[in-house]
């Protein structure tokens, strides 16, 4: 039976394998990468997502890395004010590492965005830089994933935990969907962003969770 302490590490490894598989597929220009992209784009195109266009444009803007940086700093500051110092360090460090890692991989792989590779594609929002992996996807996975983990660690009421989890998962999923809808990313960029963000999140959680648990217990005793 898998030990609870080992679970985040195993999940991180599984997500990393997915990311590396996508990375190798992109670098080698594998046929299955094009097949996955075409099939997912066809699904998005025929899903009548145009009715959701106003919402998706808002969601994709909220997933902008610069906005996520501000939100991450605010979350870390709020945790510090509430005397959750380890949680604040966890939040800030995961966000910083994810930002550097994502940009580094983008410039290493240099995959053109869909509208650059095919001038007939009209993007619905402005986007610059390279395409792989999606910074919006990895960033939202990191930020909202952090909120989920902290909610289950620090909150008492199960209803609140599940409500936060559902809303956070919706934001993650809709952000990835929006990046495909506005035609600035391939689906495999989004999948790679999700898997990379999840791998880093779980690895960081594996490292920080024992310290977070001890600090939370000390704070509960101090508040009594």
* Residue-wise pLDDT tens digits, 3-57: 667 888 999 999 999 999 999 999 999 999 999 999 999 888 776 666 788 888 9
Domains and CATH numbers, the chain: 14-218 (1.20.144)
pTM value is 0.90
Structure token pair of residue 194: 């999700």
Listed residue (173, 180, 178, 168) closest to 52, CA to CA: 178
Overall average pLDDT of the 59-87 stretch: 91
Residues 6+ apart with CB under 8 A from 21: none
**Nearest by Cα to 212 from 88, 118, 112:** 88
Q: What is the pLDDT of residues 145-201, one digit of tens each?
A: 999 999 988 888 889 999 999 999 999 999 999 999 999 999 999 999 999 999 999
Burial code of 157-182, b = ≥16 C-beta within 10 A, e = fewer? eeeebeebbeebeebbebbbbbbbbb
């Amino acid at each position: 039976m898998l030990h609870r302490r080992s679970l985040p590490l195993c999940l991180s490894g599984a997500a990393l394998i997915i990311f590396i598989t996508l990375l190798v597929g992109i670098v080698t220009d594998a046929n299955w990468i094009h097949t996955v992209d075409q099939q997912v784009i066809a699904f998005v195109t025929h899903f009548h997502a145009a009715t959701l266009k106003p919402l998706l444009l808002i969601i994709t803007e909220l997933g902008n890395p610069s906005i996520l940086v501000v939100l991450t700093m605010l979350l870390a500051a709020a945790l510090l004010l509430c005397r959750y110092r380890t949680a604040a360090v966890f939040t800030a460090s995961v966000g910083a590492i994810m930002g550097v890692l994502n940009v580094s991989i983008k410039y290493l792989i240099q995959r053109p965005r869909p509208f650059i590779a095919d001038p007939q594609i009209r993007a619905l929002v402005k986007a610059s830089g390279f395409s792989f992996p999606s910074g919006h996807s990895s960033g939202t996975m990191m930020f909202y994933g952090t909120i989920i983990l902290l909610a289950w660690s620090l909150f008492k009421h199960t209803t609140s935990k599940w409500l936060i989890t559902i809303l956070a998962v919706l934001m993650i999923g809709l952000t990835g969907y929006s990046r495909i809808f506005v035609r600035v990313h391939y689906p495999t960029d989004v999948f790679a962003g999700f898997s990379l963000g999840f791998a880093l999140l779980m690895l960081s959680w594996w490292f920080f969770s024992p310290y977070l648990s001890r600090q939370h217990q000390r704070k509960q005793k101090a508040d009594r």
